[in-house]
Amino acid sequence: MKEIDYKNYYWRNELVRLRPLRIDDWEEQYYNKFDSYARRLLKFEIELPPSIDLEKKNTELFTNFNRHEGRTMFGVENLKGDFVGSINLFNIDDKNGTFTIGVIIGTEYRGNGFGTAAMRILLRFAFCERRLNKFHSTVLEENIASITMLRKIGCIEEGKVSQMVYTDGKYLDLILLGLTKDVFVKNENCERQSSD
């Protein structure tokens, strides 16, 4: 196969590219399940121990943009082509123009801006190609990394639901964050951000 020229590829920016989730991505996703603290912040609970068979089946459900449970899942890779995580578009309400995005970056790749970069690509697609109007997210109060990332892309805190989640022996608040298309376009623009 010849080398791909990504210069005009919509699904990339200066840090990452998005692509279909592939069946061989299961392994990295499996290893990430052993970060119980991060998984608790994501799922609001402690999950049962990871299973290779279940992770293979779970990954297969979402490969090649199969829409399972209303989610469109993408693999996130750095510009060297390493799989660094996944991101998905879900809870799409076409009538009201609202949606949610979930992102998971592998343990060894966190702190490099990959999650923020992937979010910007998918937000541009949702706002500027799908004509959606409002991104919203619900984040556990202890998930400081996600709250920081969401604020970095322009989200504002829209509210708090007190003591909504019970985990780790205590009740925690949920933070509601949102971003509208007009704010995104003002800050980010709908045009592809060149990495050249």
Query: DSSP string spanning 161-192?
Result: EEEEEEETTEEEEEEEEEEEHHHHHHHH-SS-
CA 92 vs. chain centroid, Å, equals 14
Name the stretches of the chain with pLDDT < 50. 194-196
Question: What pLDDT sits at residue 196?
Answer: 43
Q: Please give the radius of gyration of the chain, using alpha carbons only, rounded to the nearest integer.
A: 17
CATH superfamily of 16-134: Gcn5-related N-acetyltransferase (GNAT) (3.40.630.30)
How far apart are the C-alpha atoms of 99 and 10, rounded to whole Å? 20
Minimal CA–CA distance to 150: which of 177, 110, 180?
177
Residues ≥6 apart with Cβ < 8 Å to 112: 15, 78
Phi, psi of 189 (to 5 degrees): 80, 150
Question: What pLDDT sits at residue 187?
Answer: 87
Instruction: Say how many C-beta atoms besides its own lie within 10 A of residue 183's C-beta.
Output: 17
Question: What pLDDT sits at residue 193?
Answer: 52
Q: Which long-range contacts (CB under 8 A, 24 or more apart) does 32-41 make?
A: 32/85, 32/104, 32/106, 32/107, 35/107, 38/107, 40/140, 40/167, 40/168, 41/140, 41/142, 41/143, 41/145, 41/146
Question: What pLDDT sits at residue 192?
Answer: 56
pLDDT, tens digit, for every residue of 63-104? 989 888 889 999 999 999 999 999 999 999 999 999 999 999
How far apart are the C-alpha atoms of 116 and 109, rounded to whole Å? 12
∠ CA 186-188-191, rounded to 5°: 105
Question: What pLDDT sits at residue 189?
Answer: 74
